[in-house]
């Protein structure tokens, strides 16, 4: 390896080793910046060099245990058209015991080279649409769609298993609901349609959020989400929707603003944070060129937005490494395979 290549490897090592995960209380993922020039340096490495780098920063395992005898397997084998794998050298285990290096990682979902999978992840981190990514990388739209669904499903799993309630004693949370898309029944312009509603909340202190599909705007549905995603003792700002009238019963302090009269009351009550968040949510949906009428896909999209909003995932220079941090956190408990 040339001196220039060694310098590139050293810089990349610093970038990937900057992924710092704090698990005390709310999970925090801190990283340095990672630019498109860093990506070019990464994908231009040989496959074995990428693997060695990822093993050194714990994004891929240095060794695994044999499922049959329990021995530690350290040697990595490479064969054409196969993922790199570990193999137990004991005669009783050897015929059947091959463990993919990529097991429990995003690289296990496909036969694409690791460098190309990383390019797809970069496009996703930059909020590129399926069609733009397929055209840029010359990869089938079906493959890109499968990858993006996998990324969103992994983010949904991460958000569901690692997020705490937002708010707290004396902390202001803005709450509202909005129509994200519509489902049509039948065909034609004049057929009836129904709106798909989303409820959300923003902790204006921490910027942590929740977003969920809302079956109806009934009091029971609204109270279910408020009780499950917001800490008691929080100060909640909403509009004057009648269903919110008695949320004090849930242990909240409640203030309202009547948007037909004013955007902010004389006492400073407003819902600007949640309104702004919904605007960003709808812009991202339009950019992705999808209506998200499938509830599972919608929930996964909402989880992606929560990650970007609450974990600084809007930052294109940090989102790539933060996504790898998420995959590192959940790799022992999430099934990284296409639907």
**Mind listing the pLDDT tens digit for each residue in 289-311?**
776 768 889 999 999 999 999 88
Provide the pLDDT for residue 128: 94
Residue 277 confidence class, pLDDT cut points 50, 70, 90: very high
Pick the CATH number of 172-296 from 3.40.605.10, 3.30.420.10, 3.30.470.20, 3.40.50.10540: 3.30.420.10
Per-residue burial over 269-292, b if 16 or more Cβ lie within 10 Å, else e, is bbbebbbebbeebeebbeebebbb
pLDDT at residue 85 tops 70: yes
Domain ranges of the chain: 172-296
How many percent of the chain have pLDDT more than 90?
A: 61
Between the CA of residue 230 and those of 65, 206, 211, 249, 253, what are the distances in Å?
42, 13, 12, 13, 12
Provide the pLDDT for residue 24: 55
Over residues 39-67, the mean pLDDT reads: 93
Provide the pLDDT for residue 188: 47
Question: Which residues are 194's β-sheet partners?
Answer: 183
pLDDT at residue 192 tops 50: no
pLDDT for 224-253, tens place per residue? 999 999 999 999 999 999 999 999 999 999
* pTM, entire model: 0.89
Provide the pLDDT for residue 179: 92
């Amino acid at each position: 390896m040339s001196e220039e290549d060694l310098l590139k490897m050293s810089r990349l090592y610093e970038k990937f080793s900057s992924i710092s995960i704090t698990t005390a209380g709310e999970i925090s993922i801190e990283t340095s910046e990672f630019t498109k020039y860093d990506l070019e340096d990464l994908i231009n490495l040989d496959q074995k060099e990428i693997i060695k780098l990822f093993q050194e920063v714990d994004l891929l395992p240095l060794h695994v245990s044999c499922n049959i005898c329990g021995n530690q397997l350290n040697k990595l084998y490479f064969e054409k058209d196969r993922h790199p794998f570990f193999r137990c050298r004991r005669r009783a285990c050897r015929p059947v015991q091959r463990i993919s290096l990529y097991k429990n990682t995003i690289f296990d979902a496909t036969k694409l080279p690791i460098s190309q999978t990383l390019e797809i992840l970069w496009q996703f981190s930059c909020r590129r649409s399926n069609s733009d990514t397929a055209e840029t990388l010359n990869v089938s739209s079906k493959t890109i769609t499968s990858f993006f669904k996998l990324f969103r499903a992994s983010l949904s799993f991460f958000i569901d298993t690692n997020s705490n309630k937002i708010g707290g004693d004396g902390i202001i949370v803005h709450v509202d609901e909005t129509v994200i898309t519509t489902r049509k029944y039948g065909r034609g312009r004049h057929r009836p349609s129904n709106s798909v509603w989303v409820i959300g909340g923003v902790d204006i202190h921490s910027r942590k959020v929740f977003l969920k599909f809302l079956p109806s705007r009934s009091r029971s549905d609204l109270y279910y989400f408020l009780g499950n995603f917001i800490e008691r003792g929080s100060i909640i700002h909403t509009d004057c929707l009648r269903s919110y009238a008695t949320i004090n019963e849930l242990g909240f302090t409640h203030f309202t603003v009547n948007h037909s009269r004013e955007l902010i009351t004389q006492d400073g009550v407003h819902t600007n944070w949640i309104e702004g968040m919904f605007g960003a949510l709808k812009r991202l949906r339009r950019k992705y060129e999808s209506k998200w009428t499938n509830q599972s896909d919608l929930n996964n999209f909402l989880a992606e937005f929560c990650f970007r909003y609450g974990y600084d995932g809007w930052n294109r220079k940090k989102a790539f490494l933060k996504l790898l941090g998420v995959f590192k956190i959940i790799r022992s408990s999430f099934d990284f395979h296409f639907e």
